[in-house]
Amino acid sequence: MEHQKPIATPSRTKEILNKYGFSFKKSLGQNFMIDSNILEKLVTNAGVTGAAGVIEIGPGIGALTEQLAKQAKEVLAFEIDQRLLPVLEDTLSPYSNVSVIHQDILKTDVTHFIKERFPDQEVKVVANLPYYITTPILMKLLMDQLPITDITVLIQKEVAERMSAQPNTKEYGSLSIAVQYYTEARVVMNVPKSAFMPQPNVDSSVLQLKMRKEAPVYVENESFFFDLVQASFGQRRKTLMNNLSRHFKGQMSKDEISAILDKVQIDGRRRGESLSIEEFASLANGLYTYVN
C-alpha cells in the first residue's frame, strides 16, 4: 500500500469528508483533529505501548484511532454516529488491531467489553471527546469503576481546569471533587482551536486522570457523599449552612445541621468551594450517620 498522509491533516480530512459527502452534526459536537503532531504527542503522553488495550470514544473519521493503532496492541472504538461506520471501515482498513463498535458509550456496559476483549492486559481510555457531553462521559467512566489504569482525553480547556481544580478557585466544584475521589488529575498540554475542523470557539486541553487504587478519603456511603458535595455547591454564592438546610429540608432542622457542623469542626459560614475533599468526607459521614 502506498504511504498515505495521516488522517489528521487538513487535506486528507477534506478528501475523506468529500468522498463520503459527510456533513458535521452540531448535535454530536463533531470537531475532527487535523494536526497529527498533536495526536502523536497525546498518544505518547497517554503512555500507550504495544502491551496496552485502548478504549476510544468517538473516533470520528479515525484521526486519533490511527495513531493509537500504530502504538497499542488493540483498539476498541465506540462510535454513535452511524454515518461514520463506512468511513472508519475505509480509513482504518490498514490496521487489523482496531474494532469499531456502533454504540452510545453512555448506554454501554464498558466493563463487559473490557473483560471480553482485554482479559489480561493493561487498559487505557484515550479519546478526543465531543464537547457537549464530556462531563457525563467522564462521570460514567469514573462511576462505573472500570478496570483501567488511566484516562487521557482531549477536552474543552475550561472543563479540564474544572476537573483538575483545587479548593478556593472559581473552577473548583463538585466535578473537581468527584475526579479527585477516583483519580489523580493533571492537565498535560493545551491545544489551539486551529488544530480542529471545524474550528471550535474554545481552546482545548489534554487531561490525564490516573485511577487511584483506593479513594483518598473514607466515606460511609458514596452516593450520599456525592449528593452532599453537589448540594454544597448548589448555589455557589451561598454559605454551606444555607445550601445544606435547603438540601435537607424536611429531614433535618438548621439546629441539627449546625450541631453536626460543630462536631466536625467546619464553619457553616464558609462556602462549598473552600472545603477540601477531606472536610467534605467528614461532613458527609457525620450527616450520614445522623440521617440514617
| Exposure on the CB side of residue 266, measured as CA atoms within 13 A | 29
The full set of domains in the chain, from first to last, is 10-211 (3.40.50.150), 222-291 (1.10.8.100)
- Nearest-angstrom CA–CA distance, 20 and 110: 30
Q: Is there a binding annotation on residue 221?
A: no
Give the number of other CB atoms < 10 A from CB of residue 130.
20
Q: Is there a binding annotation on residue 31?
A: yes
Cell of 286: 457525620
- Nearest-angstrom CA–CA distance, 172 and 272: 9
Q: Is there a binding annotation on residue 150?
A: no
The pair phi, psi for residue 17, each rounded to 5°, is: -65, -40
Q: Is there a binding annotation on residue 58?
A: yes
Let me know how long the chain is.
292
Q: Is there a binding annotation on residue 45?
A: no
Q: Is there a binding annotation on residue 120?
A: no
pTM: 0.91
pLDDT value, residue 218: 98
Cβ-contact 259, 196 below 8 angstroms: no
Average pLDDT over residues 197-223: 94
Residue 25: band (very low, low, confident or very high) from pLDDT cuts 50, 70, 90:
confident
Residue 2: band (very low, low, confident or very high) from pLDDT cuts 50, 70, 90:
very low
Quick: pLDDT tens for 138-147.
999 998 999 9
